[in-house]
Amino acid sequence: MKRKLIGLLGVALSCLALTTGCSSSNSDSKAASDPHSSAMVENKEYKLAYFEAKANSDIEHQYYSLGFYKSGVLVKTDLRNGSDNYQEIIVPDLETPYVKFKDDTYYIYRAPYTMYNQPVIKGKATKKE
């Protein structure tokens, strides 16, 4: 009887330790899920980490995932397709993409994915490294 009680207590403590470990790993991450957790400064540039389209099998449920750095912390947010809370601005010669926030709208400044008619690069490969 005493062995069964000790065994059950050991299993219960093991389960508790596993669930506690899982929940604490989420709180230690450097990513903030709510960009409005502390006030964002309007018209301030935040370095863009990523901006990508995501969807499941239904195109009506497409959304964009936006990540940017605010005070050195990665802030993540999801933006619904067709909503007015973001605007993508393509700047051909932009070196560093960034995000601005104004009037509850994210303005995403980025370089184009593909550029055509680029200058021809001439040269000769001497060795592969």
pLDDT tens for 46-65 read 999 998 888 776 666 788 88
Neighbours of 66 (CB within 10 A): 20
Q: Find the Cα–Cα–Cα–Cα dihedral 119, 123, 125, 126, rounded to 10°.
A: -150
Does residue 92 register a pLDDT over 50?
A: yes
pLDDT score, position 76: 92
* Residue 30 binned pLDDT confidence (cut-offs 50, 70, 90): very low
Torsion of CA 92, 96, 100, 106, to 10 degrees: 70
